[in-house]
Each structure stands twice: as C-alpha cells, then as structure tokens.
Amino acid sequence: MFESLAIVGATGAVGTLIRQMLEERNFPAKRVKFLATKRSAGKKLTFRGEEHTVEELTPDSFNGVDIAIGSTPDETARDFCPWAVKAGCIVVDESGYWRMDPKVPLVIPEVNPEAVRNHQGIISSPNCSTTQMVVALKPLHDAAHVKRVVVSSYQATSGAGVAGQRDLEAGSRASLAGNQHQYETFAHPIAFNLIPQIGGPKHAGYTSEEMKMVYETRKILGDDSIQVCPTCVRVPVSNCHSESILVETERKLSVEEATKLFQSFPGIVVVDDLPNKQYPMPMTCDGRDEVFIGRIREDISGGNGIAFWCVSDNLRKGAATNAVQIAELLVRSAAGAAS
C-alpha cells in the first residue's frame, strides 16, 4: 500500500493546489513530505492542521517515499524522477520532459486509466491545453472515431505561471493609467492584446505548445492516425483555457448524439443554451475540476464535423487535479490488486 507521499515543487502555484486537493480529497497517505529548491527550503506549510517544513530537493529525498507528485520545470524533472524511481518511488510528473518517452504512460484518468499499469516508475500528466481537449474528444472517438481536429486555444496567463498573471494585472493597470509596464514573462504586452505564439518554433511554423497537442493527443488516445491542426493564442484572461474545436469523425454525429455523449462522460459538464446566452466562460469555470462544453453545432461547411467550445481551469484539471487523480488511481489499483 501507499503510505508516504512527497510533493515536489510544493511552494509553486500548482504545488499549492495539489496540496490543497490532497487535503480536501482525504488522500490516504500517513506521511507527507514537501520538497522544493534550495531557495524555498525552510518555508513552513500547513497540511491537515500540522505544520511542515519544506525540504530541499536532493537525490536522497525519496528514501521511504511511495508516491511523489512533481510540478517542476523540465530540467528539474529530468533529474529528480530517476532519483525517485531508484529509491522505489512512483512519480506522477507534471512537467513536459517525460511525456513522449515511450516507456512512460501519459494519463488522463477519465480517458486512459488502464495505461497506469504500464508504468516503470514514472507516469506523466499531459499539457493543460491537451488535457481538456482530449477529455472532450474521448466520447466522440469511442462512438465515431475521430479523424481530424482543428483547434484554436485561448490560453490564460496563469499558464505562464504566477509571473504571467502578475504581468496581466500590472500591465492592465499601467495601460489604463497611460503608463508603461516592464513585462516579466511575455515578449509583447498581454494587457488588451492577444499573442499568437505560446512556446518556441517547433515544426513547419507550429510552436512547441501546438505540437504538444498533436503528439500528446495521439499518444493518449493510442491512435497515430488522428490529424490535429492547432493554433495556440495567449489571451488577457487570468485563469482558465478556452478552446474552439472542430472534430471530423468517420461516422456522422448529430448535435443531439454528440451532446448525449458529452453529457454521459465523466468529468464533462455541458452548458449549451445559446438563446439564453448560456455557455462556458473562464469566469464561470474558474475553480472547477470539470471540462465544460457548449456551443455544440454541426459543421455547416461540409463533412462529418462537430464544432464546440470548451473551457477548463488549466491550473486544476489541466495540472493539479489530473495529477492527484492519477495518484488516486494508483492507490485504487494497488488496493484492487491486494484484495
């Protein structure tokens, strides 16, 4: 059984959410350990009413730890995950470093829970923009086989970390006052602006964020034939990513069938009443763990197409929630194997 847990990157925005969720969901760990860089070591955190001291992340940090949930930059995950595996610890990793490693399962518990059985010590959680899209694609894929996806994302500044949100708030105040703001995170002003680039150039004019959506979607759904054409845009919204998605399937789906498929799938909430102006928006989805879908309609340009709008809290389901759900899946799998 899993009795001890470590959170790596415990003082960051996602690490803080992970800690809160583990407490709210009463994760069955008797012992917890909070790990971070040397800069954050020594800070005090409260968990289940007890004060804990953040420890510096070292190769010896995982002795006696059963599960670790990591929310760190890629280069940190590159180093600490092998340390943990060597100590006999299973890592649920939020970084992008291990996602496309063929030996590492890439898991969304509602979509491919069976993949956790194939882990060799590391389980990856997908990119935030991929996660909400694939949750939405899964019921359509099972019913009618997804052939092609055209997606435009409208990604919140929280996806660039706390500094990204700070840039939006301070930049907006400065702009309204007619002042200049020195941006920390973005190459262009994000206040009252859109930036059609997230990540660096990667392939054929697509960015790294866009290619994550291509490769990760295929890996999670186990189908390399799925074609994905993504455009990722940073927008002046503090939290929650939105996506406009057009899906082409082998078999034609009606709006009614697609809606029923969405409504019956775990983790999806349908909010779709255009005449009454009801649809998902970042301000109504913030702080929620579900993927919200609305504006469901047939592709009037032809083909077997279904178009819809999708919103999800990128810090929660796009990061912290999915990682905690994977850890819970490991616990349930272990309990089932033991019974």
Per annotation, catalytic residue among 119, 141, 181, 241 = 241
Q: How many CA atoms lie within 13 A of 20 on its CB side?
A: 12
Please name every residue paired with 233 in a beta bridge, in sequence order, or none if there are none. Answer: 154
Query: Does 128 participate in catalysis according to the annotation?
Result: yes
Distance in angstroms between the alpha carbons of the first and the last residue of the chain: 11
Distances in Å between the Cα of 194 and the Cα atoms of 149, 153, 167, 176, 238 are: 23, 11, 13, 17, 13
Give the type of residue at 201. Answer: P
Residue that has been written with the tokens 């994905």 in this structure: 228
Q: Which two tokens stand for residue 153?
A: 């994302």
Beta-sheet pairing, 31-36 with 55-56: parallel
Query: Does 310 participate in catalysis according to the annotation?
Result: no
Per annotation, catalytic residue among 81, 128, 240, 285 = 128
Contact 4, 33 (CB under 8 A): yes
Contact 85, 91 (CB under 8 A): yes
C-alpha angle 181-155-130 in degrees, rounded to nearest 5: 145
Give the separation between CA 131 and CA 319, rounded to whole angstroms: 9
Beta-sheet pairing, 67-70 with 4-8: parallel
Q: Coil, helix or strand for 149?
A: strand
Task: Compute the radius of gyration of the chain from its Cα atoms.
Answer: 20
Cβ-based burial of 156 (10 A; exposed 0-12, middle 13-18, buried ≥19): buried
Catalytic residue IDs: 128, 241
